[in-house]
A and B are shown apart, each in its own frame.
Chain A
């Protein structure tokens, strides 16, 4: 199975400050047609996960534009330009180029 490694595993951010989470894959997530199957999810405390980004950088419906995704091949980053209180929770990257899907270990974001 394809291993995804997230760093850091936790971060504490002052509201209004940026945050960045890295996700590294053991293999390229880019298909021959150029599509890259890397997604980001947020799981707020006590809630189900919600889709934030698909195809690395495409924001899902309703996701604020302070969230952005970047990267290619095996290295990816989720950035929050200005963290807000509602952004607390666990962030997971997931790959979909190869079944079974696999998730990263999760990154806990908390507010200072």
Chain B
């Protein structure tokens, strides 16, 4: 079955770069119509979509965060990596990765459990 798991540091300092890895199984990012998205949720706040990478290497980003984000994939490892530069305390959040599939009209149909990132000096 499909599963995703986020990994990365729990604590980063302001101005540092955050690198998060999404390791997935049960599908391939070389299959047409398959994508992986990153979404975050600050404490007590709503969901915020960050980025998406597609089977054909297309990349899409949040308008406001685009200058700070890079998404990439390693299909041989079944991993998607998100980097976010110049971290700030307002970036403290749970970060989720989720499969995004053409079969459900590019909705996020399977989510990881999330990884909590705290930005503090």
Whether chains A and B associate is yes
A positions within 8 Å CB-CB of B: 1, 35, 37, 39, 41, 43, 48-51, 54-55, 58, 60, 92, 94, 96, 99-106
Given that A60-B104, A96-B107, A99-B52 are known contacts, is A105 also in contact with B46, CB under 8 Å in the complex? yes
Interchain pairs with CB closer than 8 A, number: 61
Asked whether, in the complex, the Cβ of B105 is within 8 Å of the Cβ of A51, the reply is no
- Measured between beta carbons, the chain A residues less than 8 angstroms from B107 are 39, 51, 54, 60, 94, 96
B positions within 8 Å CB-CB of A: 37, 39, 46-49, 52, 60-63, 96, 98, 104-109, 111-114
Q: Report the minimum CB–CB distance from A102 to chain B (whole Å).
A: 7
Given that A48-B96, A48-B113, A99-B60 are known contacts, is A54 also in contact with B104, CB under 8 Å in the complex? yes
User: Whose C-beta in chain B lies nearest to the C-beta of A48?
Assistant: B111
- Measured between beta carbons, the chain A residues less than 8 angstroms from B60 are 99-100
Asked whether, in the complex, the Cβ of B108 is within 8 Å of the Cβ of A49, the reply is yes
- Measured between beta carbons, the chain B residues less than 8 angstroms from A100 are 49, 60-63
The 8 closest A-B pairs by CB, nearest first: A101-B49, A48-B111, A54-B107, A99-B60, A54-B104, A39-B107, A103-B47, A106-B46
